[in-house]
């Protein structure tokens, strides 16, 4: 069989590459070793973890506790079946949508294990044991990653699990140790903590989520400690023993952490070990990752591309899709879509975190004079209505140009709210966008305005609001002059004193 464009892997990047190439009129085949299409994203990663999160928040009544008290529950005894049923329904729906998308775009799908025979030929081992040889002019390697399973961790699929196995949960544990405070570990640790599971997080480094603004991390940790989550920072798991069938993590330095279940979520490796890359003239690094040209996603063999998690950072479904699309455009000799300067990072912990642009530490390193504006979500009327107690939005602006440099949010709706800041950032917008524009009321998005005014209070105003109100004539139904009422909410001098 011969195809113009062959994709190995049907995750977000493979799918997007395949559909895009097909839209350019190429014959396209996707090879997928899994029973169903969708990749890690649909079956063990993004969608299941987010569905689990949503189920937990709904069944526990988490979002309503600000109003009805910490004892409020929608369903008192939540069992594994409650968590899993929504998961299965969501996944079913996702797979159906993908199957339909492939069929609609005439993308062929072959179920089987792919490995290279040479740079243009791939052998596919089908489930029944037969093999097929596929010839391709262009190939995209979009095989993603799988959990890292070090030899000293006694995985057993029940009490010591990786993030894939966690989704086969048969019983909600009463206590959980999470090893690894990366995004995945943090998401599951906080989801289970919201479920009233006693969670202890073990992390070898002293800091975690170090790409996130430290002020947010501090607020986040405060919220987690407040609800009883334990932290063993700067601690490495030396080995795991079992006492009465329960895993006990033995940490360097001698501390022991006992729990009903242990989730090992300290890293992932590229799924390249069975691809016979050497036959294609390629090799992976010690984490199974491929190196590519960051603009075109070509490997060193120009007609072979690699996209998605297999190329490493940022390992997000959102970015993987874009990489797949860019690779397909290049392979089909089409103009490459413009790459935005900033992409958002979403961490679906409880509470969620989202960030785009530079954090304060990064801005400081550039030497740019800057100012920050902060809003607490509870300061907004929407926050009052929702009974929010925590959450903050922080923006960083250049003092010289007033340009927005970064947006950092922790709290309800963070992963949605961040897109307002992302648009302003990528369009080169300034503080004035937030000051001059009207936001729907009552919304959490109003926090942008509050944070902007907070920053404005401390920055030398570009122009006097009153003078501007006189200068700008109102256009009916469109722009309003800035009323003097938006003058600093607090006395700037008072703020300076506080600083
Ligand atoms: C728990 C968890 C939560 C996550 N949450 C988020 C999130 O909230 N937001 C976000 O943006 N990202 C999230 N991610 C990351 C996201 O899932 C990945 O970025 C995304 O799935 C990567 O897509 P991909 O196309 O590179 O490959 P994958 O989705 O990993 O798919 C690769 C596919 O290739 C197939 N394959 C591998 N080897 C072969 C072979 N030899 N032959 C044939 N087929 C093969 C695999 O079966 C798989 O289906 C999460 C990940 C995890 C694990």
Q: How far is the CA of 105 from the centre of ligand 1 (A)?
A: 22
- Considering only CA atoms, which residue is closest to atom 38 of ligand 1? 143
Q: How far is the CA of 481 from the centre of ligand 1 (A)?
A: 49
Q: What percent of the chain has pLDDT over 90?
A: 84
Question: Pairing state of beta strands 246-251 and 237-243?
Answer: antiparallel
* Residue whose CB lies within 8 A of the most ligand 1 atoms, among 126, 317, 343, for a mutation test: 317
Q: Examine the pLDDT at 490 and tell me if it is beyond 80.
A: no
Residue range 489-498: mean pLDDT, rounded: 37
DSSP string, 43-100: HTSHHHHHHHHHHHHHHHTGGGHHHH-TT--SSSS--HHHHHHHHHHHHHHHHHHHHH
Residue range 148-172: mean pLDDT, rounded: 95
User: Model confidence over 24-57: pLDDT tens digits?
Assistant: 999 999 999 999 999 999 999 999 999 999 999 9
pLDDT of residue 464: 53
What is the Cα–Cα distance from 140 to 142, expressed in whole angstroms?
6
Residue pair 428/421 in contact by the 8 Å Cβ criterion:
no
Confidence of residue 438 (pLDDT cuts 50, 70, 90): very high
Q: How far is the CA of 33 from the centre of ligand 1 (A)?
A: 13
Residue range 344-365: mean pLDDT, rounded: 97
Q: How far is the CA of 144 from the centre of ligand 1 (A)?
A: 5
pLDDT of residue 494: 39
Residue pair 47/94 in contact by the 8 Å Cβ criterion:
yes
Ligand 1 and 398: CB distance under 6 A: no
- Judged by average pLDDT, the poorest of 203-212, 391-400, 413-422 is 203-212
Question: Would you state the structure tokens that stand for residue 482, as one six-digit string?
Answer: 């800035």
User: Model confidence over 362-379: pLDDT tens digits?
Assistant: 999 999 999 999 999 999
Q: Examine the pLDDT at 290 and tell me if it is beyond 90.
A: yes
Confidence of residue 341 (pLDDT cuts 50, 70, 90): confident
Classify residue 42 by its DSSP letter: H
Helix or strand run (H / E) with residue 327:
helix 317-331
- Considering only CA atoms, which residue is closest to atom 37 of ligand 1? 143
Ligand 1 and 41: CB distance under 6 A: yes
pLDDT of residue 246: 96
Half-sphere exposure of 426 (CA within 13 A, CB side): 14
What is the Cα–Cα distance from 89 to 110, expressed in whole angstroms?
24
DSSP string, 388-448: ----EEEEEEETTT-BEEEEEEESTTHHHHHHHHHHHHHTT-BHHHHHHS---SS-TTHHH
Q: Examine the pLDDT at 9 and tell me if it is beyond 60.
A: yes
Q: How far is the CA of 182 from the centre of ligand 1 (A)?
A: 16
Which among 52, 58, 1 is positioned nearest to 31, based on CA atoms?
A: 1
- Considering only CA atoms, which residue is closest to atom 6 of ligand 1? 46
Residue pair 246/156 in contact by the 8 Å Cβ criterion:
no
Q: How far is the CA of 28 from the centre of ligand 1 (A)?
A: 20
pLDDT of residue 351: 95
DSSP string, 140-207: EE---EEE---TTS---SSSEE-TTGGGG-SS--SEEEEE--SHHHHHHHHHHHHTT-EEEEEESSS-
pLDDT of residue 145: 98
* Residue whose CB lies within 8 A of the most ligand 1 atoms, among 8, 33, 45, 185, for a mutation test: 45
Question: Would you state the structure tokens that stand for residue 287, as one six-digit string?
Answer: 């984490």
What is the Cα–Cα distance from 202 to 234, expressed in whole angstroms?
8
Q: Examine the pLDDT at 269 and tell me if it is beyond 60.
A: yes
Ligand 1 and 290: CB distance under 6 A: no
Judged by DSSP in three states, 383 sits in helix
For residue 252, the Cα-to-chain-centroid distance in whole angstroms is: 30
pLDDT of residue 486: 35
User: Model confidence over 233-249: pLDDT tens digits?
Assistant: 999 999 999 999 999 99
Q: Examine the pLDDT at 313 and tell me if it is beyond 80.
A: yes
pLDDT of residue 281: 98
Q: Examine the pLDDT at 223 and tell me if it is beyond 50.
A: yes
Confidence of residue 463 (pLDDT cuts 50, 70, 90): low
Confidence of residue 492 (pLDDT cuts 50, 70, 90): very low
Q: Which residue has the tokens 């993987």?
A: 320
> The dihedral of CA 318, 396, 231, 172: what is its sign?
negative
| Closest atom of ligand 1 to CA, residue 274 | 41
Ligand 1 and 10: CB distance under 6 A: yes
* Residue whose CB lies within 8 A of the most ligand 1 atoms, among 111, 112, 143, for a mutation test: 143
* Mean pLDDT, the chain, integer: 91
Confidence of residue 155 (pLDDT cuts 50, 70, 90): very high
Q: How far is the CA of 39 from the centre of ligand 1 (A)?
A: 5
Judged by DSSP in three states, 9 sits in coil
User: Model confidence over 193-220: pLDDT tens digits?
Assistant: 999 999 999 999 998 898 999 999 999 9
Q: How far is the CA of 183 from the centre of ligand 1 (A)?
A: 14
pLDDT of residue 309: 98
Q: 462-465: long-range contacts at Cβ-Cβ below 8 A with a sequence spacing of 24 or more?
A: 462/402, 462/432
Q: How far is the CA of 12 from the centre of ligand 1 (A)?
A: 7
Confidence of residue 130 (pLDDT cuts 50, 70, 90): very high
Which among 3, 233, 31 is positioned nearest to 131, based on CA atoms?
A: 31
- Considering only CA atoms, which residue is closest to atom 41 of ligand 1? 114
How many angstroms separate the Cα of 113 from the Cα of each of 205, 272, 273, 484?
Answer: 37, 12, 12, 67
Ligand 1 and 33: CB distance under 6 A: yes
Question: Pairing state of beta strands 160-161 and 261-264?
Answer: parallel
What is the Cα–Cα distance from 3 to 27, expressed in whole angstroms?
5
Confidence of residue 462 (pLDDT cuts 50, 70, 90): low
Confidence of residue 475 (pLDDT cuts 50, 70, 90): very low
Residue range 278-292: mean pLDDT, rounded: 98
Ligand 1 and 274: CB distance under 6 A: yes
- Residues whose CB falls within 8 Å of the CB of residue 278, separated by 6 or more in sequence, listed in order: none
Q: Examine the pLDDT at 100 and tell me if it is beyond 70.
A: yes
Which among 440, 363, 464 is positioned nearest to 407, based on CA atoms?
A: 363
List, in sequence order, every residue forming a beta bridge with 125; answer none if it has no partner.
113, 131
Ligand 1 and 343: CB distance under 6 A: no
List, in sequence order, every residue forming a beta bridge with 160; answer none if it has no partner.
262
User: Model confidence over 425-437: pLDDT tens digits?
Assistant: 999 999 999 999 9
| Closest atom of ligand 1 to CA, residue 318 | 11
User: Model confidence over 54-94: pLDDT tens digits?
Assistant: 999 999 999 888 888 888 888 888 999 999 988 889 999 99
């Amino acid at each position: 069989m011969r195809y113009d464009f062959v994709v190995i892997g049907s995750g977000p990047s493979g799918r997007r590459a395949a559909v895009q190439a097909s839209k350019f009129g190429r014959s396209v085949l996707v090879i997928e070793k899994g029973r169903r299409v969708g990749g890690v994203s649909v079956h063990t990663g993004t969608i299941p973890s987010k569905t689990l999160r949503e189920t937990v928040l709904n069944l526990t009544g988490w979002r309503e506790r600000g109003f009805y008290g910490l004892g409020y529950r929608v369903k008192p005894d939540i069992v594994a079946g409650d968590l899993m049923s929504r998961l299965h329904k969501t996944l079913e729906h996702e797979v159906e949508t993908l199957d339909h998308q492939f069929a609609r775009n005439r993308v062929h799908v072959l179920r089987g294990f792919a490995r290279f025979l040479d740079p243009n030929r791939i052998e596919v081992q089908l489930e029944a044991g037969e093999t097929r040889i596929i010839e391709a002019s262009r190939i995209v390697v979009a095989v993603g990653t799988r959990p890292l399973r070090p030899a000293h961790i006694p995985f057993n699929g029940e009490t010591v699990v990786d993030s894939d196995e966690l989704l086969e949960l048969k019983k909600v544990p009463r206590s959980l140790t999470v090893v690894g405070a990366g995004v995945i570990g943090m998401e599951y640790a906080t989801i289970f903590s919201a479920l009233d599971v006693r969670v202890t997080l073990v992390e070898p480094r002293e800091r975690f989520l170090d790409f996130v603004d430290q002020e947010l991390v501090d607020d986040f940790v405060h919220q987690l400690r407040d609800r009883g989550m334990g932290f063993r920072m700067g601690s490495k798991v030396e080995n795991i023993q079992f006492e009465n069938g329960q895993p006990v993590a033995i940490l360097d330095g001698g501390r022991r952490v006992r729990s009903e279940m242990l989730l090992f979520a300290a890293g992932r490796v590229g799924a390249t070990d069975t691809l016979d890359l050497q036959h294609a003239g390629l090799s992976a690094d010690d984490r199974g990752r491929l190196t590519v040209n960051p603009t075109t996603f070509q490997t060193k063999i120009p007609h072979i591309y690699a996209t998605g998690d297999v190329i490493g950072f940022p390992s997000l479904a959102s970015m993987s899709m874009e990489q797949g699309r860019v690779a397909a455009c290049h392979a089909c000799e089409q103009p490459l879509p413009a790459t935005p300067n900033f992409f958002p990072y979403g961490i679906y912990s409880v509470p969620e975190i989202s960030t785009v642009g530079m954090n304060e530490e990064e801005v400081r390193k550039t030497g740019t004079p800057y100012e920050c504006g902060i809003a607490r979500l509870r300061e907004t009327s929407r926050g009052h209505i929702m009974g929010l107690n925590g959450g903050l939005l922080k923006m960083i602006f250049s003092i010289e140009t007033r340009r927005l440099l970064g947006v950092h949010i922790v709290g309800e709706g963070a992963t949605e709210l961040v897109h307002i800041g992302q648009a302003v950032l990528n369009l080169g917008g300034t503080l004035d966008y937030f000051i001059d524009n009207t936001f729907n009321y009552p919304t959490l998005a109003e926090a942008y305005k509050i944070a902007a005014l907070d920053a404005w209070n401390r920055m030398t105003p570009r122009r006097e609001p009153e003078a501007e109100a006189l200068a700008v004539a109102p256009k009916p139904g469109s722009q309003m002059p800035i009323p003097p009422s938006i003058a600093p909410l607090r006395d700037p001098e008072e703020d300076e004193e506080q600083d």
